[in-house]
Amino acid sequence: MSCACVNETEKETRASKAESQARVESERWALPRADVVESEEGFVVTLDLPGVGKDALDVTLEDRTLTVVGRRENALAGEPLHRESRAAGYRRVFSLGESVDPVGISAGIRNGVARLTLPKVVEAKPRRIAVIG
């Protein structure tokens, strides 16, 4: 009997994921500008996401693919007389190399600028080798 409940839950989860994916694919997205800076410790990615707050930012990692989705809130009440920005939000996808440590990735947003910190794996960090003579 518990197996039937688990299966129903799995079906609901799959249906929910499929509906969510269909919604994501049907929405219009703007491609946010991104800057990537590398240091010895890792990479820092900054994205311009005007109008996106902390609760509207979604960062996911799956199979070394980092996806950033930011939905901006409609600041206008009622039907606008003129609108040039019809995108529902922002979406950007990054493929991560083997030098990135996926466990240590962190994200934050402040004043419409998202900052992702992607640390390097220990083996990928440059280090000085002592010369013994």
- Write out pLDDT tens, residues 84-110: 766 578 999 999 999 999 999 999 999
Tell me, yes or no, if the pTM score tops 0.85. no
Collapsing DSSP to helix, strand or coil, 31 comes out as coil
H or E, element range at 70 = strand 65-71
Question: From CA 106, how far away is CA 127, in angstroms rounded?
Answer: 24
Collapsing DSSP to helix, strand or coil, 100 comes out as strand
pLDDT tens for residues 1-40? 323 223 333 444 455 555 555 555 556 788 999 999 999 9
31-74+84-133, CATH topology level:
Immunoglobulin-like (2.60.40)
